[in-house]
Structure 1
Amino acid sequence: MPPRRKDTVLVSERLVITPARKSDFEDWSELRKSSRKHLERWEPLWSKDANSRADWTRRTHAWKNGWKSGRAFVFLIRRLKDDRLVGGISLTNVRPWPASAASMGYWLGKDFQGHGYMAEGVGAVCQWSFSELGLYRIEAGILASNLRSRKVLETNGFQEEGHAKAYLEIAGERRDHVLFALVRPDS
């Protein structure tokens, strides 16, 4: 049984990490709009109505269903000192025993780069997923050119495991990715 969505709050040194709430729409939409040029090069093509209320409604519906099924856990990240939304982290493709594994993805608004927020957030979500979800393995794929993302993963103990051809569609084309994984420390 997955943890209750509304009861889940992760707090790290500088961040509060929670599932998205209705009240997050304006902050989420503004951050995604102001960071669009930065984010588009790392993400799948954006829909024509990206960051609209309809887009938000579709996403939050899917996120709630993913949480209920125990197959996906999507979080938003806010700074503790001023409640500013800085980005998001997701655990998707959650696979039960015997795999006990998930895929991790994340994004950060352009103005929040270089402060260690994502490394801190990834660490908190990994710790939560090991203790609360009982996962043994968290996987992540990055574009080879994304050196900041590589640093986030390596800072948290992820190890490079290989390369995957045409792994994901990014900015409208299939792109190769470098694959990383973190195995639960007590394994």
Structure 2
Amino acid sequence: MMLTWFARDETPTLLGERVLLRAPRTTDYTAWRDLRRASRDFLRPYEPRWTDSDLGPRVYSSRLKRGREEARAGTDYSFFIFSRSEERLIGGITLSNVRRRAAQFVNLGYWMGHSFAGKGYMSESVGLVVPFCFETLGLHRIHAACLPDNLASRRVLEKNGFQEEGYAEHYLQIDGRWADHVLFGLTRERYDAALRHGRS
């Protein structure tokens, strides 16, 4: 028998005021490739190293297949972010490494196309996946990390109630080197308290 907290079969569509989040589709390939390619210099300081071969159609198809399998298994959920006004791909969010039993947490990661950065789209997008994590998946914590000098990412997390929790040396490999990261977390207790405060 499947437990009620276990994963939905498909990644849901999440609708915000200015953004729409949904699972990547085969028909999104060209928009994804073009956006990643155009944003290469902007994203390079914040991501693992990648090349043009990582933007190929076979790699994309493999990512889609793996993403569907992971969503069905309840371990990872990948979203593309679209602007509602232009119906245009502008970025992505990943919920990865879902852990159950005593842990009940997930890791949050995201990226934004260069021309759409700094306009509040990512803050709104993270604000949509947080209730999905707590209310739909029934998790207890969301973990996130950013480079110490990535002030834009820090603002996104803080606007959504994340709290700085520590500092990890050589945490992730970024642009070919192991980089230190600031660690953030959001608990169900803090999320619920914010909801109660908002309703009062």
TM class by smaller structure:
over 0.9
Secondary structure of residue in 2 paired with 1:125 = helix
Secondary structure of residue in 2 paired with 1:71 = coil
Aligned to 2:187: 183
TM-superposed deviation, 1:59: 1.4
Q: 2:45 aligned with 1:36, yes or no?
A: no
The unaligned stretches of length 5 or more in structure 2 are 1-5, 194-200
Q: 2:9 aligned with 1:4, yes or no?
A: yes
Amino acid in the other structure paired with 1:5 = E
Q: CA offsets per residue over residues 90-142 of structure 1, 9 Å max, x none? A: 01011013211000000000000111000000010111111110011000010
Moved over 4 A (4+): none
Aligned to 2:109: 105
Cα RMSD (Å): 1.2
Aligned to 1:74: 78
TM-superposed deviation, 1:58: 2.0
TM-superposed deviation, 1:40: 1.4
Whole-angstrom distance in 1 between the partners of 2:71 and 2:109: 16
Q: 2:123 aligned with 1:119, yes or no?
A: yes
Whole-angstrom distance in 1 between the partners of 2:20 and 2:27: 15
Whole-angstrom distance in 1 between the partners of 2:177 and 2:150: 16
TM-superposed deviation, 1:47: 4.1
Q: How does 1:13-28 map to 2 (within 5 A)?
A: 13-28=17-32
Whole-angstrom distance in 2 between the partners of 1:141 and 1:124: 18
Whole-angstrom distance in 2 between the partners of 1:43 and 1:107: 9
TM-superposed deviation, 1:55: 1.8
Q: How many residues align?
A: 186
Whole-angstrom distance in 2 between the partners of 1:62 and 1:4: 13
Q: How does 1:20-169 map to 2 (within 5 A)?
A: 20-169=24-173
TM-superposed deviation, 1:48: 4.9
More deviation, 102-111/51-60:
51-60
Q: Percent identity?
A: 41
TM-superposed deviation, 1:4: 2.8
Aligned to 1:172: 176
> Which structure is larger by alpha-carbon Rg, 1 or 2?
2
Aligned to 2:197: none
Whole-angstrom distance in 1 between the partners of 2:44 and 2:60: 17
The unaligned stretches of length 5 or more in structure 1 are none
Larger helix proportion, structure 1 or 2?
2
TM (norm. structure 2) is: 0.90
Whole-angstrom distance in 1 between the partners of 2:73 and 2:8: 11
TM-superposed deviation, 1:84: 0.7
Whole-angstrom distance in 2 between the partners of 1:64 and 1:169: 25
